[in-house]
Structure 1
Amino acid sequence: MCGVVGQVVVSGSTRVEESEIRQMLAMIRHRGPDEFGIYLDQQVGLGNARLSIIDLTGGQQPISNADDSLWILYNGEVFNFLELRSELTQRGHRFKTHSDTEVILHLFEEFGPACLERLNGQFAIAIWDRRRKALFLARDRLGVRPLFYTLVDGLLVFASEVKAILAVPRVTARIRPSALMQLFTFWSVQPPHTIFEGIQELPPGCFLMAESGTVTVQRYWELDFPVAASASRASHAAEAEALDQLRQGLTDAVALRLRADVPVGAYLSGGLDSSIIAALIRQRAGQRLTTFSITFDDPDFDESAYQLLMARHLGTDHQVVRATHADIGRVFPDVIWHTETPVLRTAPAPMFLLSKLVRDNGFKVVLTGEGADEFLAGYDLFREAKVRRFWARQPDSLMRPLLLKRLYRFVSQWDDGAFAFQKAFFKRGLTETDAPDYSHRIRWQTTRRAFRFLNPDALAPDRMGTVPLDLGCISYPAGFTDWSPLAQAQYLEIKTFLSPYLLSSQGDRMGMAHSVEGRFPFLDHRLVELCNRLPDQLKLRGMTEKYLLKTLGQTLLPSEVFTRLKRPFRAPIQKSFFGETSPDYVRDLLSPQAIAAAGLFQPKAVQLLVDKVAAGARLGETDEMALVGMLSTQLLHQRFIQDFQMPPPLSSHDRVKIHRADRP
């Protein structure tokens, strides 16, 4: 794992300065504190901050090929690099390191951009071709590792994090108000856009080529599902075969992700997904495993009983960090510094604390269970859409909406008034089952209630004549309408939520804030493609989510774990920002003066919400999300616009290796 930065002259006579590359690297020191490398020539400057995991002594970047015509920067891991290295050796390639980085470079030398199809991993890659004067950037299929870029004054600037791009003097940081409309709809700004005007994110499954004065982006991988007709019920024999394929695929994905020259641990949430991963690690490793968990003082969020049960079952060395309301409020500004985008949940904060626990225990790598809910249909949203489609066939039925009570069993009180409200809520647009966003429309419309806080003047076309971002920014691939309703819902969840939020704000950014790499066996692209081919009933059978995975869990886990009701991972909001431990920054940033100064929200509307929560009123879910969204936006404005702080650039005291070519 690492952080990458770079500047490439696309047009004009701009010159890349070493001092700027050093400053960019200083901004992402947390991603790779072990050592640094820089490559410079007349047209390009490349920089790497390394977190050494594979080939600890020989894998320093940038790395070149035999004749120094190609240079690579790389953030991530390619887990099948040993097999690829063997194939390349047979083709005549010779290696000077034992790193996966050099394997990628030789693979690119052999196959060009098509090399991406052979990589099994999580990565952001930059390769400079000195002969062609061409830059190649690429990102993994599902967007586990980040990569951002901007074009300014004929210069293409790219980096693993936006803060490194903003360290370049010619780049100006501006929050794009209209991007907040995407945030308050999808829970995140949708790629290729970011919250910052003019700065783009390379979408997952895409590569960029900058050559001969042009910059183009192409897709090399896309999600795909079978047509609905082939998503029929599975026979008993087909189910047994699918279970065996899932077991073998997941076991192999875990084994590949245990490849490292440093110790590997695992997150243990107490739920099905992380517990299965931890169990497979113990089966594979046959040695003591260290697991890490987050617990909460607030019993509404705490799952420590299941975590301890699983840790004892596996006999792991179990490490725990406890998150109080005060802890979440205390670290939230640092969380937003690392997310580099507003968020609508406080869930990244405990993940920030958890990665610190991992690092404090001397670990750099953890395996975790993200992806199972998306690809094996674990979210309530999938069951909700199924219930609503069933209800829509008889919209006046009195019995069918009763399934909502079975769906949301965590609702403590289902009296007549509460049920009538829920029934009316879920009946909105009930019969519009042909809408491509049918599964998500209620969620998105609900989140959009926060639009009432936005400043309409800020959302108006800006002085450059641009218009607010189109909220219909989701691209539906060819064949989407031929997929089953479940497949359509999975596609939307993966595209709008998995990479932009879960793998970023709650994943990569919180881990790398403390130099910890997360690895995700469920996101092995072979396993993803297997899950996408499964019949719907093996993912969502009746009202049982993740049916096939639960069947696998019966062979690995205590019954209390694989039979428990699923609980979404959340963290306290209201008590973290208001109450006895309320941080000073909360009232300061949400004050009418601060809101007016930033210009993104309406001061009076924000003040009404602040007064409401300060008076002790319990906020509903949408108001809590609006509160977090506005507070995190204000923090972002403060840290990145109003008072952007840069650490000193890399100096002679840092371990920096510099390569210079054709440079006076």
Structure 2
Amino acid sequence: MCGIVGIFDTQGTREINRQTLNKMNESQHHRGPDEGELHLETALGMGHRRLSVIDLESGQQPLFNEDRSVVIVYNGEIYNYRELMSELIQLGHKFHTRSDTEVVVHAWEEWGESCVHHFRGMFAFGIWDRNQQTLFLARDHVGVKPMFYSLLPDGFFVFGSELKSIMTFPALSRKLNPQAVEDYFAYGYIPEPKTIFNNAYKLSPGHHITIKVGDNSVQQVKYWDLPFKTEPPRSEQEIAHELIDRLRDSVQSQMVAEVPLGAFLSGGVDSSAVVAMMAQKNKEAVNTCSIAFNDPAYDESQFANQVAQRYETTHHTNTVSMDDYGLIDTLAHLYDEPYSDSSAIPTYRVCQLARKRVTVALSGDGGDENFAGYRRYRYAMAEQSVRSILPSGLRKPLFGTLGKLYPKADWAPRMFRAKTTFEALANDLVEGYFHGVSIMPDRVRDQLFNDQFRTELQGYRAIQVMQEHAALAPTEDPLSLIQYLDFKTYLPGDILTKVDRASMAHSLEVRVPLLDHTFVEWVSGLPPTMKLRGAEGKYIFKKSLQPYLSDEILYRAKKGFSIPLADWIRGPLRSKVRAAVLNPMMLDTGIFNEPYLHHMLEQHESGLKDYSAPLWSLLMFATFLRVSVNS
């Protein structure tokens, strides 16, 4: 696991400034503390920070082919690299290392852009082919590893593993992208391919870019998509048996490392399933790490302990205070753009704990997206069943009117928030789902932004992100469609971003066997009723795991990494939040409606309404401005 950077002159004639390239590279020192190297030639510079995991002695980068006409900087792991190495040797390629990086180089030589179809793993890389005068960038299928880039007006193209790396490039403007601001205050993160800055972008999962000398534009090309290809009918028992075989294969394929390896263990279904499969493979005890909270209402460590005892893991637990809000500035620096998922705090802490014991950790991320485990899937399907009964011409005016008239009950569980439910029912599936996952619904954002900023948006609304993905979805099934939307937005934009930055801050590599793309493809083809059956999410996943985990682990209510935001903002963070939200730096952005900021603060502090999610997102936006824009 590493950090990569690059500068490419699309004119093909200018020299690259070594000092600038080195500054870009060193901005990501935390991603690769073991080694750092640069390569420069006319029109090209590449940098690499290395966290040594495979081929510790000879896997240095940038890495070249035999005649040094092809050079790569690469971040990730190709889990089938040994099989590919054998295949490439048979095709006449000669290897000088045992690293998966060199496999990517020879795969490019053999298959060109199609090389990505041969890889099973997580990756983001840049390859320069001097003979073809071509720069090729690629990101893995589901977006485990990040890639940022920008093509500047003067013809320089820059790329890197983190946004901070390319933002050190002097000519890159820090002007905010209004659409990205709208997206952030709807989703709590900025979905691909946008970033918070106008001329900086994320390479989307399952996409690559090819740039040749003389090109003056950049186009992302999709090479993979979630298929939702229907599997032939089979019995529940047959599906459960194959699921375990595929899960075991995915886990075991990701246990290749020449450094200490372990797993996160929260005591939930997904991480427990991964640990169960690891324990069957390992002759030695698996290293597992979890965090406990000092508040019993949030603590799930007893369930992690139960799994650890069953599989006799070497288990490490660290107790975290529920008042662990001292990381706010740290998080703003890590994420480089506004990011409001407050579970980033405990995620940072569990990565910090794990790095004391291991260099590589397997996680259970992806189980909810694969097997419809989130509660919001259940709510969305319940709403969709009502939509299917009433015609649109009757449903929209009826529930639209009820939504406007009914008082808002932020304090209630979602199923009892009639206003929210009525508003969702008035919309179609995509609109309703967007409404359900938004941290601020349209009516709140309409009041949050001032007239000037709404004019800048030119009618753009954050729902367009989901609508554009939905238009390309390879499925018409309602449940599969919203799973597809999460794979395109929430999973890469929130979950995988959170884990990548939190883990790499501690030079820890995290692998996600539930997101192996061959496993994801197979699961996508299972009948939706095998994922969500009635009120039970992850139906077939839990059934298949019954021989390996107790019913208490499989069927208890899901908590997740939650923290008491509402209490923090009314209590110890009250003055900090108020000062940040009403800071002149925020008000001078030309974005916010100041009276409404006062309204939200006063309503929340008095306990009349719960504005914790909007206020936290405003706090993180203000911190981003201070740390990343005005620093």
Is the shorter-chain TM-score for this pair beyond 0.5, marking a shared fold?
A: yes
Greater than 6 Å deviation, 4+ residue runs: 417-420
Matches within 5 A, 1:67-466: 67-152=67-152, 153-214=154-215, 215-226=218-229, 237-327=234-324, 329-361=325-357, 363-394=358-389, 421-430=416-425, 435-444=429-438, 447-451=441-445, 452-461=447-456
- Alpha-carbon shift at residue 336 of structure 1 (Å): 1.7
- Alpha-carbon shift at residue 272 of structure 1 (Å): 0.5
Change (3 A) 1:343 1:154: same
Match of 2:464 in 1: 472
Matches within 5 A, 1:529-568: 529-568=521-560
Residue 495 (1) aligns with residue 496 (2): no
Change (3 A) 1:559 1:420: closer
Change (3 A) 1:469 1:381: closer
Distance (whole Å) between structure 1 residues aligned to residue 439 and residue 347 of structure 2: 28
Match of 2:405 in 1: none
Change (3 A) 1:450 1:420: closer
Change (3 A) 1:428 1:518: same
Change (3 A) 1:386 1:13: same
Per-residue deviation, residues 166-191 of structure 1 (Å, max 9, x unmatched): 11111222222331211222332221
* Secondary structure, aligned partner of 1:277: helix
CA contact (8 A) 2:80 2:119 kept: yes
- Alpha-carbon shift at residue 486 of structure 1 (Å): 1.1
* Secondary structure, aligned partner of 1:40: strand
- Bigger RCO of structures 1 and 2 (CA < 8 A, at least 6 apart): 1
Distance (whole Å) between structure 2 residues aligned to residue 316 and residue 197 of structure 1: 48
Match of 1:570 in 2: 562
Residue 631 (1) aligns with residue 622 (2): no
* Secondary structure, aligned partner of 1:182: helix
- Alpha-carbon shift at residue 122 of structure 1 (Å): 0.5
Q: After superposing the two structures, state which structure 1 stretch, 338-347 or 516-525, moved more.
A: 338-347
Question: Partner letter of residue 301 of structure 2?
Answer: S
- Alpha-carbon shift at residue 12 of structure 1 (Å): 7.5
Question: Partner letter of residue 600 of structure 1?
Answer: I
- Alpha-carbon shift at residue 141 of structure 1 (Å): 0.6
Question: Partner letter of residue 210 of structure 1?
Answer: I
* Secondary structure, aligned partner of 2:624: helix
Change (3 A) 1:627 1:118: same
- Alpha-carbon shift at residue 595 of structure 1 (Å): 2.5
Per-residue deviation, residues 610-645 of structure 1 (Å, max 9, x unmatched): 344445x2752xx211111111111111111111xx
Per-residue deviation, residues 301-352 of structure 1 (Å, max 9, x unmatched): 221221222222222222222222432x101211121112222331111111
Distance (whole Å) between structure 1 residues aligned to residue 41 and residue 414 of structure 2: 67
Question: Partner letter of residue 599 of structure 2?
Answer: L
- Alpha-carbon shift at residue 557 of structure 1 (Å): 1.0
Change (3 A) 1:32 1:576: farther
Per-residue deviation, residues 59-118 of structure 1 (Å, max 9, x unmatched): 010110011110010001111101111111111111111110001111111000101001
- Alpha-carbon shift at residue 293 of structure 1 (Å): 1.0
CA contact (8 A) 1:179 1:469 kept: no
* Secondary structure, aligned partner of 2:93: coil
Question: Partner letter of residue 244 of structure 1?
Answer: H
Partner residue of 2:476 out of 477, 483, 499:
483
Q: Which runs of 5+ in 2 are unaligned?
A: 392-408
Change (3 A) 1:441 1:427: same
Match of 1:653 in 2: none
* Secondary structure, aligned partner of 2:126: strand
* Secondary structure, aligned partner of 2:244: helix
CA contact (8 A) 2:569 2:612 kept: no
* Secondary structure, aligned partner of 1:330: coil
Distance (whole Å) between structure 2 residues aligned to residue 383 and residue 243 of structure 1: 22
- Alpha-carbon shift at residue 558 of structure 1 (Å): 2.1
Q: Which runs of 5+ in 1 are unaligned?
A: 397-413, 644-664
Per-residue deviation, residues 538-590 of structure 1 (Å, max 9, x unmatched): 1112221111110122111122111212234322323445524x397544422
Question: Partner letter of residue 349 of structure 1?
Answer: I
RMSD: 2.5
Change (3 A) 1:231 1:383: farther
Match of 1:655 in 2: none
CA contact (8 A) 1:436 1:481 kept: no
- Alpha-carbon shift at residue 420 of structure 1 (Å): 9.4
Change (3 A) 1:593 1:4: same
Distance (whole Å) between structure 2 residues aligned to residue 432 and residue 627 of structure 1: 26
Distance (whole Å) between structure 2 residues aligned to residue 567 and residue 23 of structure 1: 42
Question: Partner letter of residue 216 of structure 1?
Answer: Q
Change (3 A) 1:585 1:190: same
* Secondary structure, aligned partner of 1:503: helix
* Secondary structure, aligned partner of 2:89: helix
- Alpha-carbon shift at residue 480 of structure 1 (Å): 3.7
* Secondary structure, aligned partner of 1:216: coil
Match of 2:595 in 1: 604
Match of 1:401 in 2: none
Distance (whole Å) between structure 2 residues aligned to residue 395 and residue 231 of structure 1: 31
Change (3 A) 1:289 1:439: same
Distance (whole Å) between structure 2 residues aligned to residue 31 and residue 584 of structure 1: 34
Q: How many residues align?
A: 607
Match of 2:586 in 1: 595
Distance (whole Å) between structure 2 residues aligned to residue 124 and residue 481 of structure 1: 25
CA contact (8 A) 1:337 1:636 kept: yes
Q: Give percent identity, aligned residues only.
A: 33
Matches within 5 A, 1:636-655: 636-643=624-631
Match of 1:659 in 2: none
Distance (whole Å) between structure 2 residues aligned to residue 294 and residue 197 of structure 1: 38
Distance (whole Å) between structure 1 residues aligned to residue 131 and residue 288 of structure 2: 48
* Secondary structure, aligned partner of 2:116: helix
Per-residue deviation, residues 39-75 of structure 1 (Å, max 9, x unmatched): 1001100000001100111101011001111001000
Match of 2:9 in 1: 9
Residue 48 (1) aligns with residue 41 (2): no
Change (3 A) 1:420 1:8: closer
Question: Partner letter of residue 564 of structure 2?
Answer: P
CA contact (8 A) 2:7 2:159 kept: yes
CA contact (8 A) 1:486 1:536 kept: yes
- Alpha-carbon shift at residue 380 of structure 1 (Å): 1.1
Question: Partner letter of residue 520 of structure 1?
Answer: V
Match of 1:650 in 2: none
CA contact (8 A) 1:381 1:440 kept: no
Query: Structure 1-normalised TM-score?
Result: 0.86
- Alpha-carbon shift at residue 139 of structure 1 (Å): 0.2
CA contact (8 A) 1:282 1:288 kept: yes
